């Protein structure tokens, strides 16, 4: 029998000072690209005339040129993606990688979605049952209101508000239960 374990770890993200250096590097690379273009052959040739540098140092500078100035490694896309992540998803009060508190709340609400869907299905089933029976004016009025509530629930789900959809669904499940009890004379 095998057992599994789950470990959690926190990953420290770059602080503002460290990111400032990355952005300085990014902008310096753009200035180099604007001035000299990609010119890998030219850079390679220039490096061949540097007798004081080792092969590894020359290779490092050539690779750095490719990634930063020629954007072969997607450095520009990386910086843009990271900046977008920090702006939209990162908790500004946490120096580790962490979701913004409002995103955590939204994810928690998404867990309610299964409950909302279940309540919605029960309400649809109850509507079908009531429609199949002969109903009174009160029952018909409830059905008319329920059809309107159906649109509201779907709208809430489409707008990313499962909390409102859940509340409305539960309200109507209760209303149908009461109506069915009253209609059945139980």
> Per-residue pLDDT for 88 more than 70?
yes
Q: The tokens 């928690």 sit on which residue?
A: 108
Of the candidates 67, 98, 129, which is a domain's last residue? 98
- Contact in structure between 94 and 12 (CB atoms under 8 Å): no
Instruction: Supply the angle between the helices 40-48 and 55-64 in degrees, to the nearest 10.
Output: 160
- A 10 A CB-CB count for 75 gives 19
Of the pLDDT bands very low, low, confident and very high (cuts 50, 70, 90), residue 56 is: very high
> Per-residue pLDDT for 10 more than 80?
yes
> Per-residue pLDDT for 26 more than 80?
yes
Residue 21 corresponds to which tokens in the numbers above?
């250096």
Look at residues 74, 87, 76 and name the one whose alpha carbon lies nearest to residue 23.
Answer: 76
pLDDT digit string, tens, across residues 139-186:
667 667 777 777 777 777 777 888 887 888 778 777 767 766 776 655
The tally of domains found in the chain comes to: 2
Q: Once rounded to an integer, what is the mean pLDDT over residues 103-125? A: 76
Are 113 and 176 in a shared domain? Answer: yes
Residue 33 corresponds to which tokens in the numbers above?
């690209």
**Position 4 in a domain:** no
Are 21 and 86 in a shared domain? Answer: yes
**Position 6 in a domain:** no
- Contact in structure between 15 and 86 (CB atoms under 8 Å): no
**Position 93 in a domain:** yes
Three-class SS of 87-110: HHCECCCCCECCECHHHHHHHHHH
**Position 168 in a domain:** yes
Element counts in the chain: helices (H) and strands (E): 8, 0
Are 114 and 150 in a shared domain? Answer: yes
What distance in Å separates the CA atoms of residue 142 and residue 121, rounded to the nearest whole number?
17
Structural domain span for residue 145: 108-184
Average pLDDT score, the chain: 78
């Amino acid at each position: 029998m095998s057992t599994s374990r789950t470990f959690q770890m926190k990953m420290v993200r770059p602080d503002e000072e460290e990111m400032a250096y990355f952005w300085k590097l990014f902008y310096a690379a753009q200035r180099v690209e604007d001035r000299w273009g990609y010119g890998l052959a030219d850079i390679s040739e220039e490096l061949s005339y540097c007798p004081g540098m080792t092969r590894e140092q020359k290779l490092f500078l050539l690779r750095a040129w490719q990634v930063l100035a020629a954007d072969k490694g997607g450095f520009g896309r990386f910086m843009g993606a990271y900046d977008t992540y920090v702006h939209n998803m990162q908790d500004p009060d946490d120096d580790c990688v962490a979701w913004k508190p409002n995103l955590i709340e939204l994810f928690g609400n998404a867990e309610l979605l299964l409950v909302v869907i279940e309540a919605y299905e029960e309400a649809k089933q109850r509507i079908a049952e009531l429609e199949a029976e002969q109903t009174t004016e009160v029952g018909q009025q409830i059905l008319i209101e329920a059809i309107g509530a159906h649109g509201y629930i779907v709208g809430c789900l489409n707008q990313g508000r499962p909390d409102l959809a859940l509340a409305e669904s539960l309200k109507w499940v209760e209303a149908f239960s009461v109506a069915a009890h009253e209609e059945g004379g139980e």
